[in-house]
Amino acid sequence: MHQDCEKILLTEEQIQRRVQQIADRLNREYAGKNPLVIGILKGSVVFYSDLIRKLEMPIELDFMAVSSYGAGTTSSGFLKIKKDLDKNVEGRDVIIVEDIIDSGYTLAKLKKLLYARHPASVKIVVLLDKFERRAVAIEPDYSCFDIEDEFVIGYGLDYNEQYRNLPYIGILKRCVYEH
C-alpha cells in the first residue's frame, strides 16, 4: 500500500467485479444501440477503460474536460469546458462516465449542457457516489459504490494530480492535505 494511504477502501478485485456487474446492466439496456460513451477527463480514465472493454454493443468514444469554479472547495460556480466533445451528440444515446459524484454540481451542469444539444438520451455512470454530500438534486443512473465522506485516491482519482495510477482506491491520510 502507498505510504500516503490510510487504508485500502476498494481492492482491484472488488472494483473489477463491480464494474462487470454495471457493464452487464449496460449491455442489457443498450443492446442493439450504438451509444456515445463520454469520459470526463481526467479522473474517469481508468474506470472508463475498464468499463468500455466489458461493453458488448458497438460504441463510440469521446471525451470532455471540465472544471467548476466557485467559492472555496465546492464546485458551486459555473462550469468551464476545457476540452469539448469531438462528436455531435444530436440524436445520440449518450452515456457519461465520471469518477465520483460529490456535491453533484459538476454532473448537474454537464447534463443540462448536453441536453441543450438534443441527444436522444443521457445517462450517467459513476464509479463512486459520496451521497451524503449531495447539494443539488441529481442522482447517477448507475453507480458502482456508495462511499462515506472521505477523500479517496487511486484508480484515476487524484489529490493535486498525484495517485491516479494506484490500481486500488484508498483513503488519503489527512496529514497529506491538512497542514
Q: Which residue has the cell 449531495?
A: 134
- Residue 92's CB is within 10 A of a number of other CB atoms, namely 22
Residue 22 to residues 109, 122, 173: CA-CA distances in angstroms? 24, 16, 29
> What contacts 17, CB < 8 A, 6 or more positions away?
none
Binding of ligand IMP at residue 101 (CB under 6 A)? yes
Whether the CB-CB separation of 65 and 48 falls below 8 Å is answered with no
Q: How far is the CB of 69 from ligand IMP (least distance, A)?
A: 11
Binding of ligand IMP at residue 157 (CB under 6 A)? yes
Which CB sits closer to Mg ion, 30 or 171? 171
163 binds, among ligand IMP, Mg ion, none (CB under 5 to 8 A by kind): none
Which CB sits closer to ligand IMP, 35 or 154? 154
Which CB sits closer to ligand IMP, 41 or 55? 41
Main-chain phi, psi angles of 127, to 5 degrees: -75, -50
Binding of ligand IMP at residue 68 (CB under 6 A)? yes
Q: Residue 21 and residue 17: Cα distance in Å, rounded?
A: 7
Q: How far is the CB of 34 from ligand IMP (least distance, A)?
A: 27
The catalytic position among 50, 93, 99, 102 is 102
Binding of ligand IMP at residue 122 (CB under 6 A)? no
CA quadruple 43, 38, 125, 49: dihedral, nearest 10: -60
SS3 state of residue 56: coil
Q: How far is the CB of 84 from ligand IMP (least distance, A)?
A: 17
Q: How far is the CB of 61 from ligand IMP (least distance, A)?
A: 19
User: In this chain, which of 39, 43, 104, 154 binds Mg ion, going by CB under 5 A?
Assistant: 43
Return residues touching Mg ion (CB under 5 A): 43
List active site positions: 102
